[in-house]
Amino acid sequence: MIQTSTNKWVNKLAVLYQTLSLNSEPNIKNKCIDLMQKIDNQELAIAFTGHFSAGKSSLMNNLFNISLLPTSPIPTSANVVKVKHGADKIQFRYFDGSIQEVVGSYNEEAFQALCQDGDRATEILIERMDIPLPSGVAVVDTPGVDSTDEAHRIATEASLHISDVIFYMMDYNHVQAEGNLKFVKELTDRGKQVYLIINQIDKHRDTELSFADFQQGVGTSFAAWDIRVAGIYFTSLKQPKHPHNQLTQLKELLHRLYKNKDQLIEQNVEREMNYLIQQYIDKKISALPSLETLQSELQTNQDKKSNYQRQQEQWKIEKQQIADQLMKDLDHILQNAYLMPANLREQAKTYLEAMQPDFKMGLWFAKKKTEQERSHREKQFFRSLVDTISTQLTGHIEDLVIQHAKKHDIFQTSFADDIHESIPEITRELLRKTIKKGAGISGNYVLTYTNDLVEEIKTLYRGFVRQYLSDHLPQLEAEVERNIQKVEMECKKLETRLQHVEQNLQMHADITVKQKELQMLLEKDTVHVPDHVVKELLQARKTRGETTSILTESFVTNQEKTTPQIEDLPISSSSMKHKEQLLLQAEETLAPVSELQIFFKQLKSKRLQLEQQQFTVALFGAFSAGKSSFANALLGASVLPVSPNPTTATVCRICPPSTEHLHGMATVAFKSQKTLHQELQHLFQLFRKETLPADIGEVINKIPSLLDSPLETTRQKLAIPFLRAIQDGYTELEHQLGRTVSMKQADATLYMADERKSAFVEEVSLYYESNLSKLGITLVDTPGADSLHARHTDVAFRYMKQADALLFVTYYNHAFSKADRELLIQLGRVQDSFALDKMYFIVNAADLASSMDELNKVVAYVESQLNQYGIRHPRMYPVSSLESLEDKMQNRDLNRDFSHFEQSFFRFIQEDSRAATTGRMITDVQQAVNWIEEMLTALRTSESEKEDQQQRWKQAEDRLVQVFSSLSSTMEERNLVQEIKTLLYYVGERLRLRYYDEFAFYINPSTIRQSGRAGRTQLATAAKELLSFIGNDLIQEFRATSLRLEKWVQTALSTFTDQQSTHYKTQLSGLSLGMPNEFILPEIDWTQPNWEENHPIFQKAISLYKNNQSFFEQNGRDRMKEQLKLQVDEVITSHITQITEKLITSYTTAWKQNIDNLSSVWTKQVIDHFARLHTSLQGNIDEQPLVESKKKLEQILTQLS
């Protein structure tokens, strides 16, 4: 019998189910049935959730005192596993709703594998007689909530509705991870009864932090987020007798919950009934585009269809004369050129409005104001149009014609300049004459006008290419017809899109009706579902399939998945030493021959550079990934402090000792007042405190009021520990701001471990003698990826760019946070810009692996995640920092994993990073051989022939000096400008797409929890955080673009050098043109875009919010997304335009400086080269040393090749 006190909820759930049956919502319908059955069965559900590998399954196995559930350091339970006391059986619930039941004993190994196979079953129920649970109680195991596998997150959230009590588990090292705080906050805000379990406390080291301080830090972190949980328990399964283990108390709590199950069940069902209805509405609304968007898309697509049809008819009768492949390629460029993006069409609309005869501005002096406004709009539209044409057409068509000329052997030196000067000029008159007389302003005409204007522009470029053909290649003219079939295909695609839009519009109408029905269900209790229907629903998901033994093949898991093995790389540490020994032999061969002294000095200089080379190695990773532990393992000593709690971001450098800084000494560079003020300004802005006093002391005095203010956003909560540290430590360290202080290493570490001190520190440099220092390596521990401070992204990028090697450290059983992902995305952006692959990815704490198979699976999992972030073929190294440090400190043989990493890493430092210098040395040896060969040829001629040779050398020298003194590279400059425009054009496109991806993350019911005025305030805050993220991502894109441009410049200069060397090979007489050791590259200061909170577009976007119901249920969020997108488009376009001009100026100037530098270097090389030739030929030279030297050098070159 269903208990009377729950009848009303069973009836409401049945009514909700019947309502949803017409809308095919199986997920929510199934949840309705789950809750109905839960009431009927009076079953208390206790769920264990948390981040993956926190030990959920292991803890449940401990509670049951049997090995029942699978355990692994990567996401294991791919489905929800429910455990109950009862007759031995297992039920598998599949995605289609069917149930398979297995009665009796079963193969535990096969069952554990099935628990990890989320593709086969969505929920598994286990009943066993030996499970120590009372009747009416079920314990639920869920996948990790922070797994990057979306299926795991969905499976976990799908079980929350039936969970009356939730135990959220975290491992010791990652308690204060943002993902934990955020998810627990959502649970408690939803009204769930939540207990926290901090597992694996056996990892705690009293030498790092007292346990009491650790417990206090946990409480402080959750309190900062206003999270109120029912209790916190600290546990260890590995060390049951750990002094702080509360496993026994946890078990006692569970027994108390079992006894209070009836009250807990009713409370949860009432909350979940309301939540399901809200979930249904949110899902339907969020799945559809806004009505305005659909209506606009409908009109646009109809216009496009008409335009396609007109073009199709026109192309059937219109013929164009084109020359072979050239005009086909031209048409391809023109067809793919997107000359009228949405923002430009909008400018065209405002321009057309201004050009209407009845357009008027103001009352007084209207004529002048009207003309000024017309001129302004015309100028704005014209400038944007020219920029778009330059990006989409000009460079591509110039290159097309030049390549065509080269292909047909008509290219000359001045050809590129002639082509550039004859490119069609777009004038404002073209904008005016394209306007049709008498045409009014409408969406249709704006599209028609822009299409007409695009056609006019394309016509100009077609005429330009035809003129080129008429002037140069008349024999190639031919008749072709446009590809009508392609247009017909576009029309069919457009028709499909139109049908899709109409279907969405109808779905909008349907959801409005359903929303009203659901609201009536909440308000009235008059609707009654017949008892027999309720009975059928209660049995709906209990239907069993055929009873089968789990030992049969149908329940044996798929063949074992193969995982990539961690292969040993061949170590050839002697290869570089061998090369250097050969080059030293070459140097010794050159030394005694007076005519070869110039080559001897060049080789010796580069050798000394190699011997004195210094390296920078940067460590990246989030807090508690084990960066400091890994650094200590590399150093072979406990140099850096380690802690499970995050500390304030401080750059720490471990440097080789010097005469100025001896081993064991350190320097601490404190932040300046200006830097600290800027950091506080940024954090105060998170609390909407825009203006701060100039005096830093007055700013500090305002921190207490900030700490007392309500916390609304994630970033506000993350800022609290830093603000509190500044408040507590300012008095002690005020006098140190701006200073750099020398001290002992032990004293300096306090400024890294104590947050009240580290908050004021810019950088700590420790001088420590180690194997790294002997190789000239400075190890840099960078701020965590999740640092609060925007300036730390500058620090991170600087080390990405300048460091000789990058080590990214991740923890063995810890998922990547959002901050990690952003850093990894940036690494993926810049990976191809490095001359060498200098990235190493470290999976720390590999000693936690129970087997080699498990270790391989973890490495494969991390590698798959890196691939998703754009990092291809990452070099992966699983290591144990703790074990490796102990090996070194106790003089044991270093374990295989860490030894494997060090061999590969040191080989890279000692060989790969030195390859460029040795390559230049080999070029010097080859140049010496070329010079000897030229000289021997001249010496073996008669006196008269020698005089002729002297004259030929003189003529060649004069010619080369003349050419190299006035190098020209106008074509390369234009290519550089085009490259900048193209790169930044696609930066804008990516940012606009990313805006849509990130909008849902920042604007959702979990960030706007209140309603009315308070809800609008939360929305404004979330919107500003979204815009700030887009601004930061734009800066990161700019930084990546600058690296790509630097690589372009270096490659282009190398190509230019090779071209010149090839072209003047005969005149150079054995001389190889050299490249400077360093290129001139601009340093760009990046500025954040200005997001004006008072901007009319931003204010209008926020004003669309009335309350949560209308915002999330009635398309308010979609309308706000499209409105805010207008501001994003405006700011991104403006900022990219400014940066484009800045980069063009900076990089073209740097390019010219590099060309001037080459001019000076080559001119000097030519003069010195021919001077040596003249001098040697005039003197009494003994050929024998030259012959012997040439023979030895050629033998060395053969061995080097």
Among 533-547, 772-786, 1013-1027, name the most confident range.
Answer: 1013-1027
Dump pLDDT digits (tens) for 25-83: 667 777 888 888 888 888 899 988 887 667 777 888 888 777 777 665 555 545 678 88
Domains of the chain: 43-260 (3.40.50.300), 320-480 (no CATH), 613-671+740-752+761-909 (3.40.50.300), 673-737 (no CATH), 917-1200 (no CATH)
Confidence band for 165, pLDDT divided at 50, 70 and 90: very high
The mean pLDDT value for 502-521 works out to 75
Dump pLDDT digits (tens) for 814-845: 656 666 777 777 777 777 767 667 889 998 88
Contacts of 761 (CB under 8 A, 6+ apart): 650, 668, 669, 670, 671, 751, 752
Confidence band for 551, pLDDT divided at 50, 70 and 90: very low
The mean pLDDT value for 1-19 works out to 68
pLDDT at 319: 39
- Whether pLDDT at 286 is above 80: no
- Whether pLDDT at 550 is above 50: no
Among 79, 62, 60, 82, residue whose Cα is nearest residue 127: 82
- Whether pLDDT at 234 is above 50: yes
pLDDT at 195: 92
Which tokens hold the place of 416? 């590129």
Confidence band for 609, pLDDT divided at 50, 70 and 90: confident
Q: Which helix (H) or strand (E) holds 742?
A: strand 740-744
Confidence band for 739, pLDDT divided at 50, 70 and 90: very high
Between these two residues, 494 and 792, which has the higher pLDDT value?
494
Confidence band for 282, pLDDT divided at 50, 70 and 90: low
pTM of the full predicted structure?
A: 0.61
Longest Cα–Cα distance in the chain: 125
- The Cα–Cα gap between 460 and 468 comes to 12
DSSP character for 393? I
pLDDT at 372: 85
What pairs with residue 48 in β-bridges?
Answer: 141, 167
pLDDT at 128: 83
Contacts of 985 (CB under 8 A, 6+ apart): 391, 392, 1136
DSSP character for 809? E
Among 544-558, 583-597, 1140-1154, name the most confident range.
Answer: 1140-1154
The mean pLDDT value for 992-1021 works out to 81
pLDDT at 610: 77
- Whether pLDDT at 712 is above 70: no
Return the beta strands (E) in 559-630 as ranges. Answer: 615-620
Percent of the chain with pLDDT over 90: 9
- Whether pLDDT at 624 is above 70: no
pLDDT at 1141: 92
Among 867, 861, 851, 811, residue whose Cα is nearest residue 76: 861
Between these two residues, 282 and 779, which has the higher pLDDT value?
779
Between these two residues, 321 and 388, which has the higher pLDDT value?
388
Among 271, 51, 46, 60, residue whose Cα is nearest residue 181: 51
- Whether pLDDT at 1180 is above 80: no
Dump pLDDT digits (tens) for 1090-1133: 888 888 889 888 888 887 767 876 788 889 999 999 999 989 99
The mean pLDDT value for 495-521 works out to 77
pLDDT at 922: 87
Mean pLDDT of the chain: 79
pLDDT at 544: 47
Dump pLDDT digits (tens) for 60-74: 888 877 777 766 555
Among 359, 440, 893, 834, residue whose Cα is nearest residue 618: 834
- Whether pLDDT at 477 is above 50: no
pLDDT at 765: 93
Q: Between the CA of residue 489 and those of 310, 312, 1082, 1098, 1127, what are the distances in Å? A: 15, 11, 48, 40, 35
pLDDT at 661: 92
pLDDT at 1: 39
pLDDT at 1008: 79
pLDDT at 1091: 82
Dump pLDDT digits (tens) for 128-142: 888 888 888 888 887
- Whether pLDDT at 317 is above 70: no
Dump pLDDT digits (tens) for 377-423: 888 888 888 888 888 888 888 888 888 777 666 677 677 777 888 88
DSSP sequence for 492-555: HHHHHHHHHHHHHHHHHHHHHHHHHHHHHHHH-------HHHHHHHHHHT--------TTSGGG
β-strands 839-844, 805-811 pairing: parallel
Contacts of 371 (CB under 8 A, 6+ apart): none
- Residue 270 near residue 161, CB atoms below 8 Å: no
The mean pLDDT value for 503-510 works out to 78
pLDDT at 552: 41
Annotate 296-354 with three-state secondary structure. Answer: HHHHHHHHHHHHHHHHHHHHHHCCEEEEHHHHHHHHHHHHHCCCCCHHHHHHHHHHHHH
Confidence band for 683, pLDDT divided at 50, 70 and 90: confident
pLDDT at 446: 84
The mean pLDDT value for 441-454 works out to 84
Residue found by looking up tokens 């402080």 in the block:
220
pLDDT at 740: 94
Dump pLDDT digits (tens) for 897-955: 999 999 888 888 877 767 777 887 888 888 888 888 877 887 777 778 878 888 888 88
Dump pLDDT digits (tens) for 653-665: 999 999 999 999 9
Dump pLDDT digits (tens) for 412-426: 767 777 788 888 888
- Whether pLDDT at 848 is above 80: no
- Residue 1061 near residue 1073, CB atoms below 8 Å: yes
